[in-house]
């Protein structure tokens, strides 16, 4: 299945309207240049009650949102202080994929061949158990198309993938240990049998779902009929207990760009009504997203308005209270850089799945599993990784991301949003627009996520945000929803 070329979706008149919604015309967001905050000026001033509310919401379940590392930051910090230097490992099992997404950072697709051999995964997992790793994240490409010829002929889709899952489980159980397994999956290949196997192993799922518009979803993954396949996959997961059994969790991961923005509210309602969690990733200049996806992309005000509306929906419809502050829904944060690593399909050991690789800078690559004498323990104890993590802690930004300016940062609730977005994208302080960043070392130095709502708040406080911008964005996204007509009070102006 992984070698079948994706079918390019033709651009029909109806799809043309979805691809060109005139969401944003590159007009400046600021009426004058943004200035750094003055000493003592805050973008977020949190009360003790606010801080405790965020921690409580994060700590309610094992956190499977991308980058969360399975646990809340305070628990993770406690693990690190106890001497555990590595808490999670991502295995990019394969670059092969049944889809060919327009924004794919990894360049995955049906013709890609790179994969991590089973025996290498087994030996690294043995080391990981001794080092205290408690979370494995299996990614791709599409993990279900993973194939290692050394394992012989596959007995159906996903056979070699589940051999890796069993290996991890067996390795840990033999030592009287346990580990959580999360996999990223595009859902289209999940049959009833695969859904049942996921459930048997209690695998957490981070799945693809960008829009409820079938033609647009097909276009985004470059495959005709993809939306229908994905919907069948979700049905199979629900039938297997996902979304109902608290042990079986699904986080739907949605890429937010100029084409998916209008439908994000309706998608959120669908996600929540199925008992899933919702993770939203604003697109940035990375991988294939450097062309039309980001050139006509969303910006900080769009993210702020979207999160404000989502928090209203969650409160009124689902009884979930949260105040939107950070660059992630529910004020999540990325923990991977504190104590996790990512192993790419080519063997490179990196800080995270999208961190700048050795072709851009060698600072965020810490070895290669195919190198002679490779040892996971050596990597973890190496001064280079330790120095990087220390640098990451001190990577304060100039405008919105530092403990002096943001209480999320001060209380270890955020460390600058998404480091990858800071590396590849930045705010043009003259206009407020997200532009391409050429300084990839902003991954760890002066790290500031350009899609964080805090930029908009700072501009509002300095009186330079374009008048009426937030209300116009809010009116647009609510008016284009087909599901919010019965939700009382959704048309009132956005609070400042």
Report the sign of the C-alpha dihedral through residues 295, 301, 304, 310, in that order.
Answer: negative
- Alpha-carbon distance of 449 to 428, in angstroms, equals 12
pLDDT-derived band at 23 (thresholds 50, 70, 90) equals confident
In contact, 250 and 213? CB cutoff 8 Å: no
- Alpha-carbon distance of 184 to 186, in angstroms, equals 7
Predicted TM-score of the model (pTM): 0.93
Which pLDDT score is estimated for 137?
93
pLDDT greater than 60 at residue 455: yes
Which pLDDT score is estimated for 5?
43
Q: Which two tokens stand for residue 176?
A: 């009287």
Location of structure tokens 């943004």: 34
Which pLDDT score is estimated for 286?
76
pLDDT-derived band at 490 (thresholds 50, 70, 90) equals low
Q: What is the pLDDT of residues 278-324, one digit of tens each?
A: 999 998 887 666 665 666 678 999 999 999 999 999 999 999 999 99
In contact, 75 and 68? CB cutoff 8 Å: no
Q: What is the pLDDT of residues 102-140, one digit of tens each?
A: 878 777 888 888 999 999 999 999 999 999 998 899 999
Q: How far is CA 433 from CA 22, 46, 300, 304, 469, in A?
A: 16, 27, 8, 14, 13
Pick the closest to residue 309 from 65, 475, 449, 458 (CA basis). Answer: 475
Which pLDDT score is estimated for 2?
37
In order, the DSSP letters of 324-370 are: --SSSGGG----HHHHEEEE-TTSEEESSTTS--TTT-GGGEEEETT
Which pLDDT score is estimated for 492?
47
Task: State how far Cα 373 lies from the chain centre.
Answer: 33
Instruction: Indicate the helix (H) or strand (E) that contains 50.
Output: helix 48-58
């Amino acid at each position: 299945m992984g070698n079948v070329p994706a079918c390019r979706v033709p651009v029909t008149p109806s799809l043309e309207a979805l691809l060109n919604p005139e969401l944003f015309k590159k007009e400046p967001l600021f009426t004058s240049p943004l200035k750094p905050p003055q000493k003592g000026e805050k973008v977020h001033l949190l009360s003790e009650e606010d801080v405790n509310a965020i921690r409580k919401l994060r700590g309610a379940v094992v956190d499977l949102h991308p980058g969360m590392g399975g646990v809340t930051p305070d628990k993770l910090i406690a693990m690190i202080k106890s001497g555990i230097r590595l808490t999670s490992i991502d295995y990019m099992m394969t670059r092969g994929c049944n889809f060919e997404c327009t924004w794919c950072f990894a360049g995955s697709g049906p013709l890609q061949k790179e994969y991590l051999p089973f025996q290498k995964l087994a030996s690294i997992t043995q080391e990981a158990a001794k080092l205290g790793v408690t979370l494995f994240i299996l990614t791709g490409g599409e993990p279900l198309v993973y194939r290692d010829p050394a394992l012989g002929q596959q007995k159906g889709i996903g056979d070699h993938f589940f051999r890796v899952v069993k290996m991890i489980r067996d390795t840990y159980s033999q030592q009287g240990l346990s580990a959580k397994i999360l996999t990223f999956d595009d859902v289209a290949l999940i049959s009833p049998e695969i859904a049942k196997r996921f459930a048997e192993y209690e695998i957490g799922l981070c799945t693809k779902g960008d829009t409820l518009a079938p033609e647009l979803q097909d276009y985004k993954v470059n495959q005709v009929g993809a939306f229908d396949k994905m919907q069948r996959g979700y049905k199979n997961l629900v039938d297997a207990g996902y979304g109902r059994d608290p042990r079986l969790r699904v986080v739907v991961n949605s890429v937010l760009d100029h084409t998916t923005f209008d439908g994000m509210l309706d998608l959120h309602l669908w996600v929540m009504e199925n008992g899933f969690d919702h993770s939203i990733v604003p697109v940035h200049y990375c991988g294939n997203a450097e062309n039309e996806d980001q050139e006509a992309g969303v910006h900080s005000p769009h993210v702020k308005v979207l999160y404000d509306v989502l928090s209203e929906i969650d409160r009124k419809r689902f009884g979930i209270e949260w105040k939107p502050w950070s660059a992630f829904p529910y004020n999540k944060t990325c923990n991977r850089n504190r104590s996790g690593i990512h192993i790419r399909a080519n063997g490179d050991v990196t800080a995270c799945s999208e961190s700048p690789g050795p072709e851009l800078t060698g600072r965020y690559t810490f070895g290669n599993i195919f190198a002679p004498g490779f040892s996971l323990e050596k990597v973890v104890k190496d001064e280079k990784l330790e120095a990087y993590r220390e640098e990451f802690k001190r990577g304060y930004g100039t405008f919105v991301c530092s403990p002096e300016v943001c209480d999320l940062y001060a209380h270890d609730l955020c460390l600058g949003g998404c480091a990858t977005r800071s590396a590849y994208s930045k705010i043009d302080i003259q206009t407020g627009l997200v532009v391409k960043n050429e300084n990839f070392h902003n991954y760890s130095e002066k790290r500031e996520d350009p899609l964080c709502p805090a930029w908009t708040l700072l501009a509002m406080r300095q009186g330079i945000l374009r008048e009426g911008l937030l209300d116009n964005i809010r009116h647009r996204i609510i008016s284009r929803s087909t599901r919010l007509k019965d939700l009382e009070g959704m048309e009132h102006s956005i609070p400042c």
